[in-house]
Structure 1
Amino acid sequence: MECTESSTGEGTSEELFALSTAIAAVVGGSVAIEDLDRRVLAYSTLPDQLIDDLRRQGILNRQVPDEPRQLSQYRAVLNTTGVRRLPPLAPDELPRAAVAIRAGDLPLGTIWAIEGSEGLTSASERALLDGARLAALHMLRRRSAAELDLHARQEALHGALNGNGSAAETRFRLGLSDQPQFSLLGLAPLRVAGRESPPVVRLGVSAAGHFAAVHTEAAVTTLGRTVYVLLPELSAPAVRRLAEQAVTALARSRDVPLRSAISRCDVDPGELPQLRTEVDDILRVTTTDPTAPPVASLEDAHARVLLAHIGDTLAREPRLRHPSIAAMLEHDREQRTSYGASVLAWLDAVGNIGQAADLLGCHPNTLKYRLKRVRELFGLDLNHPDDRLSCWLQLRLSR
């Protein structure tokens, strides 16, 4: 195969082709260098290298086929500091070893090697690790000064969200004015049962490119399962418009919908860890609810966030749970009764027996009897408003 130079701007060059071939000479199997979107930037061309159909397909298309189980493997490689061995995903696939390409904490791509006939030797591991360091240098060298500035801002925001550095240092590193008004925006995929989300680092790369085009002062970084965007010198309505645009634009190339959380506006860079907590609280409830709005502030999600915190408190402090409610729910589980559901429906209906009975699909007299039995069996008094509130909270959270 002929080695040709590409102009993708991600470091694809004759140098990367030569590097992948040099690694393959040590490993014994075909080697491919990929970016974070799994585009094949370069590949080895030794005539006697081990190769399989999946690698051939990736080379011909210059793109690794999108297979759900591969997403887990990419995530594992990007979360590993050394070389990661990976089992075959199909009978005709050869075992692979891979390593992440990084510049500091910044992920740039991955190197994938088909293991040679001797398996993964210590020399093979050294070749992959050295190759990753060299590939990072080649890829960074082809980046523009503007991209490197974005990386510096990313590192500054990363540290500020973790509470590192003073407010003055954070303001300087992020290039903020003396009295900056800013908001923190969070992006995360909706969690869909039975479907694994793509690595969030890919969302971070896409978000960085998007916000570099729409707001030159934005800073973008990735922490955990969330992409954070600092948006200075914008009003709250403007921040919401940018969040809505980002969710729409970044979701187009993904099967899983995105959720965005908007923090309050602030002027103190020292408050960024608190703004991060606010964003995390919002995303915690919106990324697990398919009916939640794609973009939400704390005001939009206040009730669900409050319930989540109350649930955390009850989980940490079981002694705060009402013993009568615990006994009622345990009785429901063991005896297959529905006292808890009946009380909750009655509370949801604000004491309207007819409406609650309709929700439960039973006769109003049946519901009245169940409420009477709740008092008799468990000593649960629903006449006092505080007791009703406590009961509703615990039943709502248990549901």
Structure 2
Amino acid sequence: MSYTEAPIGDGTSEELFTLCTALAAVTGGSVAVEDLDRRVLAYSSLPGQRIDDLRRRGILDRQVPDEPRQLRQYRTVLDATGVVPLPPLADDELPRLAVAIRAGDLSLGTLWAIEGPRGLDETVERALTEGAKLAALHMLRRRSAAELQLQARQDALRSALCGTGIPEARFHLGLSERPRFSLLGLAPLHVAGHEPLPVIRLGMSAVGHFAAVHPEGAVTTLGRTVYVLVPHLSTAAVRRLAEQAVTALSRPRTVPVRCAVSQSDVDLDRLSTLRTDVDGILRVTTSDPAAPPVAGLKDTHARVLLNHIGDVLTREHALQHPGIALMLEHDQQHETFYAQSLLAWLNAIGNIGQAADALGIHPNTLKYRLKRARQLFGLDLDHPDDRLSCWLQLRLST
């Protein structure tokens, strides 16, 4: 089969092929519709359309090749509200125009057009925008009743996580009046130099995984996190389920997945509070490669607490210690080391020798710096409350 032929009867709507060809007549370049896994569902077959080898390979394989820079482009398109012009990623590629295919807030896929001679003018932009709407209708029409029921469960859980629609959520999720449940949060580890796994793809993988291992659960995506409501399991069973999910969802990925586990509860009205706890845990574990892949609040309590205190200090400038603020400013302007020295001394619980060793300086040098810090910045380091106040701000600022 050549790449210009449009196969029918493979589960893809014939109307999508017709739509792609019509759009290619407007844009002048090859047009394709893809789902969220970057499978090519339909493509244009217009004689003379601009096309490159990447599009040909995608059509022949019915799958766009996996490449990190392309993942970045997909995320840009799915986050945007209109047509996005994208530069080529290689010398033998042509620039593209892309738009997300959505039904309301539900992302269904993407529509891609190789940029034609006229570029992105008003006519092309309007055609691609309207084409994405028509593609959404065709894609929705082919969704099964089971998929629509699954979407209703996802929407119900999303609303409950935001603190609304609790009775509706209980109905759509098939929960009893006071079920015991836990909340899991899944998000990729932030690794320098690596593009994070798109949350939509992580969410789709999580839906398939939990449908197989715990069908009573519900999965939804909100922001940059995939949430899983797990009813009717013991604390130990929930933990095992979380560990299995991390293993299954991380295995094919270059970036590991982290999972936060909430405490169990029986009050669905508290779901938004459990979400806050899960978000706090993930804030710690997704930023630290040494953090455990699966963690609860008990595993991360100190750092979660410090993050909350840091947020308060950032919002409420009046709560910041004026002496510490002056010290940090002085160190920056004069290239001194008062903050570093004081923090090392506080970390060593006042042990001069241990702190000096950590800094690589003579104990007398550290004593002098501490004495000068008291004089220059008005610090009272004799009272434990004052030492705690100074340590908190230094710990969060350095």
Q: 1:6 to 1:355 in 2, by over 3 A?
A: farther
Task: Give the conservation status (yes or no) of the 8 Å contact 2:183–2:262.
Answer: yes
**Aligned CA distance change for structure 1 residues 59 and 345 (closer, same or farther; 3 Å):** same
Counterpart residue type for residue 306 of structure 2: L
Moved more, 103-112 or 16-25: 16-25
Q: Distance in 1 between matches of 2:382 and 2:27?
A: 75
After superposition, where does 1:119-158 map in structure 2 within 5 Å? 119-158=119-158
Q: How does 1:380-391 map to 2 (within 5 A)?
A: 380-391=379-390
2:310 matched to which residue of 1? 311
Report the Cα offset of residue 6 of structure 1: 7.3
Q: 2-side partners of 1:27 and 1:383: how far apart?
A: 74
Give the CA deviation at 1:180: 0.9
Supply the distance in 2 between the matched residues of 1:148 and 1:227 (Cα, whole angstroms).
19
1:5, distance to aligned residue in structure 2 (A): 4.7
After TM superposition, list the pairs within 5 Å mapping 1:96-245 onto structure 2. Answer: 96-165=96-165, 167-245=166-244
1:349 is matched with 348
Amino acid at match of 1:40: V
Partner of 2:67: 67
Match of 1:360 in 2: 359
* 1:35 partnered with 2:35: yes
183-192 vs 66-75, which deviates more? 66-75
Deviation readout 1:275-301 (Å, 9 max, x if unpaired): 111111111122111111111111111
Structure 1 runs not aligned, ≥5 long:
none
Distance 1:301 1:6, change over 3 A: farther
Shift of 1:120: 3.5
Query: TM-score, normalized by length of structure 2?
Result: 0.92
Letter in 1 for 2:157: L
Say which is worse superposed, 179-188 or 99-108, in terms of deviation. Answer: 99-108
SS at match of 1:17: helix
Residues 149-181 of structure 1, C-alpha deviations (whole Å, 9 max, x = no match): 11110011111112222x323211221111111
Distance in 2, matches of 1:318 and 1:104, equals: 40
Question: Match for residue 273 of structure 2?
Answer: 274
Instruction: Tell whether 2:6 aligns with 1:3.
Output: yes
Please give the alpha-carbon distance, in whole angstroms, between the structure 2 residues aligned to 1:136 and 1:377: 66
Residue 54 of structure 2 aligns with which residue? 54
How far the C-alpha of 1:270 sits from its partner, in A, is: 1.6
What are the Cα deviations for residues 113-134 of structure 1, in whole angstroms up to 9, with x where unaligned? 1132223454544443443334
Regions of 4+ moved over 4 Å: none
Deviation larger for 295-304 or 64-73 = 64-73
Distance in 2 of aligned mates of 1:6 and 1:35: 17
What does residue 376 of structure 1 align with?
375
How far did 1:231 drift? Answer: 1.0
Structure 1 CA distance for aligned equivalents of residues 171 and 377 of structure 2: 61
What amino acid does structure 1 have at the position aligned with 2:41? L
Matched, 1:16 2:16: yes
CA distance in 2, matches of 1:79, 1:327: 41
- Determine the C-alpha separation between the residues in 1 that align with 2:28 and 2:237: 55
Moved more, 14-23 or 290-299: 14-23
Moved more, 36-45 or 122-131: 122-131
1:13 is displaced (CA, Å) by 4.8
Distance 1:289 1:341 in 2: 22
Q: CA deviation at 1:338?
A: 1.4
1:301 aligns to what?
300
Contact 2:178 2:268 in 1 (8 A): no
Q: Counterpart in 2 of 1:396? A: 395
Distance 1:141 1:315, change over 3 A: same
- Could you tell me whether the CA contact under 8 Å between 2:186 and 2:227 is conserved in 1? yes
Structure 1's 25 and 348: CA in aligned 2 closer, same or farther, altered over 3 A? same
- Output the CA distance in 2 between the equivalents of 1:307 and 1:66: 39
C-alpha contact (below 8 Å) 2:17/2:43 kept by paired residues:
yes
Q: Match for 2:22: what amino acid?
A: A
Q: Secondary structure at the match of 1:41?
A: strand
CA distance in 2, matches of 1:393, 1:45: 64
Count of residues in correspondence between the two structures: 395
Q: Distance in 2 between matches of 1:125 and 1:340?
A: 55
Task: Report the Cα distance in structure 2 between the residues aligned to 1:224 and 1:266, rounded to whole angstroms.
Answer: 23
Residue identity matched to 1:343: L
Amino acid aligned to 2:156: A
Structure 2: distance between partners of 1:234 and 1:352: 48
Which stretch of structure 1 is more off in the superposition, 77-86 or 236-245?
77-86
Q: CA deviation at 1:91?
A: 4.2
SS in 2 for 1:22: helix
Q: Deviations over 1:166-211 (max 9, x none)?
A: x323211221111111111111111223333232111111111111
Structure 2: gaps of 5 or more residues: none
Whole-angstrom CA distance in 1 between matches of 2:387 and 2:122: 66
| Alpha-carbon distance in 1 for matches of 2:130, 2:329 | 59
Letter of the 2:131 partner, please give it. Answer: G
Identity %: 73
Distance in 2 between the 1:6 and 1:259 partners? 40
What SS is found at the alignment partner of 1:131? helix
**CA 1:4 to 1:339, structure 2 compared with 1: closer, same or farther past 3 Å?**
same
